[in-house]
Structure formats: structure tokens, C-alpha cells
Amino acid sequence: MNALYSLLAVLALVLAGFACGQGAPARMVLATFVPYAAFAALLIGFCWRVARWAFVPVPFHIPVTCGQQKSLVWIRFAKIDNPSTRWGVVSRMAAEILLFRSLFRNNRARLSGGRLILGESASLWLCSLAFHWTLLLIMLRHLRLFLEPVPAFVNALERLDGYFQIGVPPLYFSDVILVSAMTFLLFRRFRDPALRYLSLFSDYFALFLLLAIAVTGILMRYFTRVDILSVKQFALGLAAFRPGASQALSALFLCHLLLVCALAAYLPFSKLMHMSGVFLSPTRNLANNSRSQRHINPWNAPVKTHAYVEWEEEFRDKMQAAGIPLEIENETEDAGNARTN
């Protein structure tokens, strides 16, 4: 049901995009107002969400350690998976963010004949990694539309991406990988009963939306052959705050644009915020040094404790009978001492 609703929501966006292509006023709104509104929502929403997290204190030092601690000098410790220094944390976070270290550990549990078998399972890690890296690559490639002259690294990426010169225009491998990886992630949600059980509207919506963006983009590049010059003119205009809605922009392009704007505006309100949240995760971004350096809790409130004195008072007789040393010797003796003094 969640999958269906989110598919319908994305289809509605696609239709709205095409519809905008038909009438001049709608075109105008979509090309001049919507991108700015969406970008503003992204910027403000993103900062707001990150600030919400950042201003909440980290009261306790709770890293999850995934390797040997640094203790005795003769024991080799896991510098990355159980970092003890700031640099160790930087490498752990880098491994997490650039290589999806934790996901790499993934295995799959299977029960067979009353035995539990934990098998290798790299597909989730591989497809997630492929998806995220190609998405980044594609976004960087899009810079050529917004910048004049086009930076050398963007050109280099483009050459690399179309290295094998298959077809005209050359096929970008990132497009193929992105769509395949996303398709895998989507089918995984449908196929795996446990995941299907868990998946929410937003899980499907994000995937469908990204897929729709990718598909409209691919259609423009390889099939309808969008007028790239007018697109670039439009993009440069947007970047220079001189937006214009040229008649040369196709309905397909406007559809692509609307979907991208929808994604940008939706992002701060969604789980896609994991992209910034991962940096703040206290189980990953703290060094395992809580015994060598004191971690401060800003709201460390006093609590009611059972002080030694009260405790001794309660068990005084029993302690005395058992011969356990007392802090305050028996009162009668004290009184006696006082008198003799």
C-alpha cells in the first residue's frame, strides 16, 4: 500500500511537470519561482535540522567499539574500528562515509536443519555504495550546466564516465549503475518480506522520486535529445538570479526540473537527512577514550544517593558484631571518651 501511494505521488509530480510545459504562466512559475523556493526550503530546512541535532548535548560517551581497545602497549589495537584519538575517529568516519564500513560487515542469517548459518552478503553494501557514489558523480557532472567556463575536473569526470565511447551521445556508466543499483534497492524492498513489512511511504517515495529523476534525465540525454544550449542558458540564468523561461525548454525538461525541486524541498523533512546525521552519530564519532579523558555532561544533574554515613548508621550494630571497621566509632564510647577528656 505504501509502495502504491508513493508511486502515485511521484506519478502525480511527473504529470504536473508535463502539465506545466503546456501553459505559459505555469511554465513561468516552474522555471522562475519553484527552483528558488525549493532551494530555499532545502537550505533552511537542512540547516534547521542539523542545528536541531547539533544543539542537543551528547551527555555520555557511548561509542560502539568494533575492535581491540588501546590498553596494554603490547596488544595491537584497532586504530580505525576502535579509535582512541581524534585522527582515529576521522579515519573511522571516513571509512563509514566513503566506504560504508559498517554495511560491509553485513551477513545474512539462515536457518537450516535447526542450525543457524551466517552467510556472506555483500549485495546491499555494493549496491548502496554504487548508488551513492554514482549519484554524487552525476551531481558533479551537472555542474557543467551551471558554470561557464566548465571547470577542468567536471570535464575530466565526464570523459571518465563516458570512457568507452559507446553510442552517440556516449553512454555514461554512472547512469547505468545508478539506475541498476536503485532498481536493486527497490526490488529488495518488495522481495524481502521483513523489509516489505517495515518499509514506509517515505522509503518508497524517495526511491521512486530519484528513479523518476534519473529516468527523465536519461530520456532527455539519449532519446529526446534536449536542446542543451537552452538548458545551459536557463541554468546559468538561475545561478545568476536572472531566471528566464525560454520556449525552447521541453516539457520533459520541466518535468525533470520539477522532480528535482520536489526532492530538494522534501529532503529536509525526510530520512534523506541521514547524509548529514551520520556525521553526528555519537556511537561512531567519539574516540574510545572515556577512561583516559573525562567526558563532560553539560546537564549532569545531582541525584539522590545513599551516602556512606547513612548506610553505616543503618548497619552499625551488624558491622560491629562482624568486626567490620566503622567510620564513626560507637557513640557510647565517644561519649565516654569525651567525659574522660
Partner 1 sequence: MPETLVQIELKPPHGDWRDSHVEFRKGSICYSAAPKNLTALGLPNPRAWQPLDKDWKLPPDWKRIILDGMKERLDKYRSFRLFMDICVRCGACADKCHFYLGSSDPKNMPVARAELMRSIYRRYFTLTGRIFGKLAGGRELTEDVIKEWFYYFYQCTECRRCSVFCPYGIDTAEITMMGRELLNLIGCNTNWVLEPAANCFRVGNHLGIQPHGFKDSLDFAADEAAEITGLDFHVPINRKGAEVLFVMPSADYFGTPHYYTLLGYLMLFREIGLDYTVSAYASEGGNFGLFSSHEMMKRLNAKIYEEAKRLGVKWILGGECGHMWRVLHQYMDTMNGPADFLGVPVSPLTGTVFENARSTKMVHICEFTADLIHHGKLKLDPRRNDRWIATYHDSCNPARAMGLLEEPRSILRAVCRNFHEMPENTIREQTFCCGSGAGLGTDENLEMRLRGGFPRANAVKYVKQKHGVNLLTCICAIDKATLPTLLEYWVPGVEVAGVHELVGNALVMTGEKERVADLRGEPFPAEAYAATTANEAGHA
Span between the terminal Cα atoms of the chain, in Å: 89
What's the angle, vertex CA 47, arms to CA 41 and CA 50, rounded to 5? 130
Q: Is 334 in the site for partner 1 (CB under 8 A)?
A: no
Please report how close the Cβ of residue 329 comes to partner 1 at its closest, in angstroms. 13
Residues 102-107: contacts with CB within 8 Å, 24+ apart?
Answer: 102/66, 103/128, 103/129
Cross-strand pairs, 110? 117
Which residue of 24, 25, 109, 152 would you call a contact of partner 1, by CB under 8 A? 109
For residues 162 and 172, is the Cβ–Cβ distance under 8 A?
A: yes
Q: Is 149 in the site for partner 1 (CB under 8 A)?
A: no
> Which residue stretch of 31-39, 243-251, 283-291, 328-336 sits at the interface with partner 1 (rule: CB under 8 A)?
283-291
For residues 146 and 233, is the Cβ–Cβ distance under 8 A?
A: no
> Which residue stretch of 56-64, 145-153, 219-227, 331-339 sits at the interface with partner 1 (rule: CB under 8 A)?
56-64
Complex with partner 1: residue 327 or 334, whichever CB lies closer: 327
Distance between CA atoms of residues 180 and 155, nearest Å? 24
For residues 167 and 223, is the Cβ–Cβ distance under 8 A?
A: no
Pick out residues in 293-322 that bind partner 1 (CB under 8 A).
Answer: 293-297, 299-301, 303-308, 311-312, 314-315, 318-319, 321-322
Pick out residues in 161-220 that bind partner 1 (CB under 8 A).
Answer: 188, 192-195, 197-203
In order of 66, 79, 95, 262, the CA distances from 122 in angstroms are 19, 24, 16, 32
Q: Which phi and psi (to 5°) does residue 116 adopt?
A: -95, 125
Complex with partner 1: residue 70 or 256, whichever CB lies closer: 70
Which residue of 152, 241, 325, 335 would you call a contact of partner 1, by CB under 8 A? 325
> Which residue stretch of 170-178, 234-242, 243-251, 324-332 sits at the interface with partner 1 (rule: CB under 8 A)?
324-332
Q: Is 12 in the site for partner 1 (CB under 8 A)?
A: no
For residues 206 and 272, is the Cβ–Cβ distance under 8 A?
A: yes
Please report how close the Cβ of residue 151 comes to partner 1 at its closest, in angstroms. 31
Complex with partner 1: residue 152 or 307, whichever CB lies closer: 307
Distance between CA atoms of residues 111 and 253, nearest Å? 50
Tell me if the bond preceding 149 is cis, omega within 30° of 0: yes
For residues 218 and 175, is the Cβ–Cβ distance under 8 A?
A: yes
Complex with partner 1: residue 125 or 173, whichever CB lies closer: 125
Could you tell me which of 236, 239, 273, 234 has the C-alpha nearest to residue 257? 234
Which residue of 26, 32, 49, 91 would you call a contact of partner 1, by CB under 8 A? 49
Which residue of 32, 91, 102, 183 would you call a contact of partner 1, by CB under 8 A? 102
Distance between CA atoms of residues 309 and 317, nearest Å? 14
Pick out residues in 119-148 that bind partner 1 (CB under 8 A).
Answer: 124, 128
Please report how close the Cβ of residue 1 comes to partner 1 at its closest, in angstroms. 9
Q: Which phi and psi (to 5°) does residue 121 adopt?
A: -155, 100
Please report how close the Cβ of residue 146 comes to partner 1 at its closest, in angstroms. 29
Residue 42 identity: L
Q: Is 53 in the site for partner 1 (CB under 8 A)?
A: yes
Please report how close the Cβ of residue 7 comes to partner 1 at its closest, in angstroms. 14
Q: Is 256 in the site for partner 1 (CB under 8 A)?
A: no
> Which residue stretch of 31-39, 116-124, 147-155, 251-259 sits at the interface with partner 1 (rule: CB under 8 A)?
116-124
